[in-house]
Amino acid sequence: MGVILVPIVEGKLDVWKQWIGELNGSRQREFASFNSRYGLIKHEAWLAETPAGPVVIAIHEGPGSDDLMPKLGPSQDSFDVWFKGKLNDIHGMDVTQPPPGPMPVRHLG
């Protein structure tokens, strides 16, 4: 399972809400196809208001969850390009580039 915690760029909260509306509405079939192509069986997001501003907590589960970002980055599928553009616009997250810094380490309690 992949878990992402990412801030929303200042002034982009309404854009995020519209995007989520599209994913659950007019682009629902494309989003379902996206999840299927990447081997995801669950893909959910929650909005959290913090003192530093709004953040999104997203999970993606399934056999393809570990490879989602490395495979999405170079994809030229039209939906994927649109999806990546929204990630960059709303979150400042460019999945075509490796993330800065070291990857998080999983600790078991």
CATH code of the domain containing 78: 3.30.70
Residue span of the structural domain in which 6 resides: 2-91
Mean pLDDT of the chain: 91
% pLDDT > 70, the chain: 90
> In angstroms, how far is CA 51 from the centroid of its own chain?
22
pLDDT recorded at residue 108: 55
Q: Could you give the number of structural domains in the chain?
A: 1
- Structure pTM? 0.87
Residue with tokens 């490879």: 67
Whether residue 25 is contained in a domain is answered as yes
Tell me the mean pLDDT in the region 54-66.
93
Task: Judge whether 81 and 72 are in contact, CB under 8 Å.
Answer: no
Contact residues for 4 (Cβ-Cβ < 8 A; gap 6+): 56, 57, 58, 59, 60
Task: Please tell me whether residue 6 adopts helix, strand or coil conformation.
Answer: strand
Asked if 82 and 88 touch (Cβ cutoff 8 Å), the reply is: no
pLDDT-based confidence at residue 33 (cuts at 50, 70, 90): very high
